[in-house]
Amino acid sequence: MKTVSRICLLAFLITTAIFSNGCAGYKLGSVKPSVYANINKIHVPTFENATLEPRVAVLTTNAVIKSLQADGTYQITNQENADAVLRGKITRIERRQLRSARKDTLKTREMLIFMIIEWSLHDPVTNDKLDYRETKSIDQASRDSSTSLRIRPGRVIGQTQIFLDENFQLTERNALPLAAQDAAKVLTSQLTEGW
């Protein structure tokens, strides 16, 4: 009887050690960056649109709000109850040819669309920037091959691929929400995890 209980105890200890060791890098509780530790409620006003694309500001703001709500780290609220205000500006939408037609290299078949958003957190009362970090312009960053634009604090780039059909405008209009969703995921990751 003692042998069976010792074997069960040994099996329990080994199982516990294995499962505990697998979670050694994780911690319980919030994983927010330390500079955002006191922020629990965020207000997200409509982003500013510096591009010529109509209605893209509301589309992007909604994507960011949905992404933050799905993550659950921050509560979305009005400005009076907020700990911080998330302000964003859509600075550029770029299109780049990914694949051309087989017999005509000037005719695009597949295209990449990039949406560049600059964001910052502000104090809801004084409107001062919280944890402001200087960022380079996209032209300077393009020249610096050692940095990745997608992971720089304060700037995110959402992207998507599209196959072009005869109705180019409709195809592009359908791709912009996908680029906005991708940018929203990266922005949420920067706010909630710091990268």
Q: Which CATH architecture has domain 31-193?
A: 2-Layer Sandwich (3.30)
Position 194 scores a pLDDT of 72
Helix (H, G, I), strand (E, B) or coil at 83: coil
What is the DSSP-derived secondary structure letter of residue 103?
S
Q: What is the pTM of this model?
A: 0.73
d(CA 57, CA 93) in angstroms, rounded, equals 12
pLDDT tens digit sequence for 44-92: 999 999 999 989 999 999 999 999 999 989 999 999 999 999 999 999 9
Cα Rg, the chain, nearest whole Å: 23
Structure tokens at 29: 């509780």
Domain limits, the chain: 31-193
d(CA 163, CA 182) in angstroms, rounded, equals 18
Q: Which residues contact 83 (CB under 8 A, 6 or more apart)?
A: 38, 39, 40, 41, 42, 124
pLDDT tens digit sequence for 1-41: 667 777 777 777 777 766 665 555 555 555 777 778 889 99
